[in-house]
Structures are given as C-alpha cells and as structure tokens.
Amino acid sequence: MRARLLLFALLLLAGCSKQSEQASLLAEVKRRLIERDARLSSYRLEGRTSEQGAEPVGFTFAYRAPQKMRGTLAAPISRTFSWDGERLFEQSDADKRFTTFQNQLSPERRAGFLTETFAPFTPEGFHAPLLPSSMSVKRTQHPRAPEAVELSAKVAEPGAESLEVAYTLRWPSLDFLGKQTRLPDGTVVEVRVEQEHCEKAIELCVPQKLTRWVKGENVGETTLSTVELNPALPNDTFTLAAPQGYEVQTKTLVDSAGK
C-alpha cells in the first residue's frame, strides 16, 4: 500500500513538473514574440502571389507600427488600400475612383476589419501569430531549425466548429517556419516557408517564399522580390490624395446594427 502511494506521489510530481515546464516555456515564448515585434517596427514588400490555375498577381505592401498599412494590387486589378491610423483610403485605378472612409468602428471591430482588408498583402511570418490565450506549446524540430517550438490551439468563430491551428517557430528567434490548420472535416491546410530573408542587425528572419498546400497538394505560392526591414516610412506613405481626374467620394465605416 505504501509503495502504491509513493508511486502515485511520484507520478503526480512528474505531471506537475511537466505542466510547470510548459507554462514557463509558454511565458518565455510570449515574451520573445513581443520583443521580436518590437525589433521589426516597419517593412516594405514587393512580390507576386498565385493560386492554382490562376495568373499570378503582383502586389506591394508597406507597414509601420503601430498600425499604418498600405497595399497595392497590380494590373489588371490596379487597386490600392491604405490606413493612416484614422482613415481608410481606397484608390481604384481601373475605374478612376477614389474613396475616403471615415472611421466610426469600435476598436474590436476595427481590428477585424483591417485584418480582412489587408490580408491579401500580408504574408505569414512578419508578425506574431494570433492565437487565443488557451494555447499549448512544445519543443520540436524542423528541417530549417534543429531547435523549434510548436504553438497550437483550437479556434472557432461563433456558431462554427473549431479548427486546430499549429505554428512552428524557430527557437529562440521565433522566426516563422510553417503553419498547419486542420479543418473540422479532417482536411489539412499548410503554409510552408521555402526561402528566407535574414538580417543579423535585428536578429531575425522573415519568409521570402511561401507555398500553400491542401491535402498534400501545392495549391499556391507567394514570392517576395523585395524585402526591406525597418525602412523609414513617412506619414504621407499612408495618407493618400486623389489623383487628378478621379471620381472622389467619402463614406463612413460603422459597426453593424445591433453591435
């Protein structure tokens, strides 16, 4: 009886020790991700993205912390979106239309709106992954990193089934190496880093080529021809003015009714 109690106590201590180790590692990962974001205060990108069966589309993107963004899709789309921290600008060169959106969104809705608007311009790996507080972490390995960590969590929109999302990050710099999403029907969607751009001065790497996979099949890729980290980006990079001859209009961004 005494031996059984001793064994139970040892197992309990081992379990507690493992949980404590994971909690400590997770806290360290969060701290390092904040520090990493602070080292990358601005960037400018130029590249092309393609999906299976479609023509590649060129794009440019500029970002300056804490929340200024400008993205342009090349011809034949020829459209620019820019957020200067207070207003959204949309310039459509195809039909010579320029729209200024005044912001009356709540902070929560604004964050989601900006994520949706600029998602086509922002490859994975330039900012810390957005995961809920109830995430788990474990040490792992990767072909690009003998030491890495995997952050995983279940995420779900209201009224939808949960997805399993896992990010693999190089340790200890926490450079993005890949993302795997398991859909409710079991389909696995992956983003893989094929090439990187690294800068010793700020001790980090960012993706230069990413491929997208569904059920093990390559369905698209994004390749960056230009990667500038921490360039000087003045305010007028993000505050746009209507070109001569464009139709000009002003609209307002508001929360949906009932929110």
CATH of residue 174's domain is 2.50.20.10
Q: What is the pLDDT of residues 39-83, one digit of tens each?
A: 999 999 999 999 988 889 999 999 999 889 999 999 889 999 999
| Domain-embedded: residue 177 | yes
Residue found by looking up tokens 């964050």 in the block = 111
Q: What is the residue range of 125's domain?
A: 35-254
| Domain-embedded: residue 20 | no
Q: How many CB atoms lie within 10 A of CB 119?
A: 10
How many structural domains is the chain composed of?
1
| Domain-embedded: residue 11 | no
Q: What is the pLDDT of residues 210-259, one digit of tens each?
A: 999 999 999 999 999 999 999 999 999 999 999 999 999 999 999 875 44
Dihedral class, residue 159 (left if φ above 0, else alpha if ψ from -120 to 50, else beta): left
Q: Is 214 exposed, middle or buried, given 0-12, 13-18 or 19+ CB atoms closer than 10 A?
A: middle
| Domain-embedded: residue 144 | yes
| Domain-embedded: residue 28 | no
Q: Are 192 and 204 in contact (CB under 8 A)?
A: no
| Domain-embedded: residue 4 | no
Task: Report pTM.
Answer: 0.85
Q: Which helix (H) or strand (E) holds 7?
A: helix 2-39
Q: Are 69 and 258 in contact (CB under 8 A)?
A: no
| Domain-embedded: residue 120 | yes
